[in-house]
Amino acid sequence: MESDSEQFAGTILEAISSGRDLYLYDHYIVGPNRLECARKVLTEQRNACSDPAEAAFLTSVIHCLENRISES
């Protein structure tokens, strides 16, 4: 069973690979570096976050993205 962060990371990767529109925290993710842009937005959101639970969730999402990329 996938965790919430794994599901969210999977949704991001699926949107990127299929070419669908992707919005993360009011940022439109486009261009050839979509994955890097998504990571940057997630990292910025995590760094600006004051809620420890949300920061932990976003850190987990970032790690899931990196792990899934390295598996492919």
What pTM was estimated for this model as a whole? 0.85
- pLDDT tens for 50-59 read 999 999 999 9
Find out whether 38 and 58 touch, Cβ atoms under 8 Å: no
Domain that holds residue 65: 4-71
pLDDT at 69 over 80: no
pLDDT at 24 over 90: yes
Structural domains in the chain (count): 1
Find out whether 59 and 46 touch, Cβ atoms under 8 Å: yes
Residue 8 CB neighbours (<10 A): 19
